[in-house]
Every structure is written in C-alpha cells, then in structure tokens.
Amino acid sequence: MRTPMSMRTSGRRTIRLRLTLLYGALFLASGIALLAVTYGLVSHATANEVVVSKGPNGSTGVFIGSGSSPAAAPGPMVGTKTLNGGLQAGGSSVGIGNLTPRQLETQAVELRRQAVQQHANELHQLLEQSSIALAIMSLISIALGWMVAGRVLRPLRTITTAARERSATTLHERLALDGPNDELKELGDT
C-alpha cells in the first residue's frame, strides 16, 4: 500500500487522497454532530434541581435530582449520599427536622452548588472521553477510506496502464475488466 505522500504527482493531490480526505471529513462532521446531540441530551436529562418544599404535615424537605418537584421523584435513586447531618441527595425528598428556614435555605444553596459542580464535572468527563473516541474513530475511518478508495479506483489504474501500453495498431483490443457493470467497466470497454 502506498502512503498518501507518495501518491502525489506533480504537486497535485491524487483522487484517492481527495476521496480519503472527503470520507474522513464527512465522518468527522457527522461524529461532531452526534457528539453535540448526545451532549445536549445528556446535559438536559441529568440536570439536577434542588427544591425546598413543605410537606402535608408541615415538615420541610429538600428534593435533589431530575424533575420539577419532589412529587416527580419515584423514590431514592442509586448513589444516595448523606450530607450535613442526615440530609440526603440523589432524587428523593427528605425531611430536615428542626432546622430554621434560614438554615434550610443555606443547606439548599450548598446542595445546589454541589449538584451544579457535579453535573459540570460529569459533562466535562463525557466531552473528554467522547472527543478521544471520536479522534480514534476518525483515524480509523481515514485508514478505511484510504483502503476503500484504493479498491474503488483499481479499475481506473488498470485502464490507465492499459491505455499507456496500447499502440496505434492495438487500439481495437478490449480491456475485459472484471467487476460490476458500472461506469468504470464501461470506460474500460470503450
């Protein structure tokens, strides 16, 4: 297999190199679009909220998780974590006990800050790992594009070589290319 640099002739890029770059660019563009959509969906689906609410018996609670209210939470989520003397985070509403409204608000502000920080860290990690995977897959797609372009252009090389070898006395001979009946086979027959 020849390398892309050895395929350049007279300072021109070969069609194989151009096709390879086109394949790679299309893969990279669609990969970036997929990454952006995935990032947006994950960001929206994992956004954490902290809601301070009053229960039916007059108790005050804090809800942390996805959803619009404590009623939206189906129950405790995996990874429930105890914070500041029994206050729990992870997707359920929790009674606070005898905290004053000011202490409750302070707790809620701290939980909001922690939830936002954790969410940002998770999104950053998702972006880093996805970017690495995209870079690796882009390199693989360029290598595969190089091989596919070579295979697709093989009949064209056969035609070029045969045309160089023909003389004025042998122009009536056909190339008899193998493969599907496509434009390249038609060109060879012509």
The residue with tokens 């006395």 is 169
> Tens digit of pLDDT for each residue in 52-104?
565 566 555 556 565 544 444 443 333 333 344 444 444 444 455 667 778 87
CA torsion angle 21 23 26 32 (round to 10): -80
Do residues 146 and 152 lie in contact, with contact meaning Cβ atoms separated by under 8 Å?
Answer: no
How far is it, in rounded angstroms, from Cα 87 to Cα 38? 32
pLDDT reported for residue 65 = 61
How far is it, in rounded angstroms, from Cα 44 to Cα 46? 6
Q: What percent of the chain has pLDDT over 70?
A: 63
Is residue 105's pLDDT more than 70?
yes
pLDDT reported for residue 59 = 57
**188 closest CA partner among 14, 149, 15, 178:** 178
Q: What percent of the chain has pLDDT over 90?
A: 28
Q: Which residue has the higher pLDDT, 75 or 110?
A: 110
Q: pTM here? A: 0.60
> Tens digit of pLDDT for each residue in 7-22?
445 556 788 999 999 9
Is residue 114's pLDDT more than 80?
yes
Lowest mean pLDDT among 5-9, 113-117, 150-154: 5-9
pLDDT reported for residue 33 = 96
- The mean pLDDT value for 133-157 works out to 92
The residue with tokens 């301070």 is 52
* DSSP annotation string for 160-190: HHHHHH--GGGTT------S-SSHHHHHHH-
Q: How confident is residue 137, by pLDDT bands cut at 50, 70 and 90? A: very high
Helices 15-45, 101-165: inter-axial angle, 10-degree rounding? 170
How far is it, in rounded angstroms, from Cα 145 to Cα 147? 5
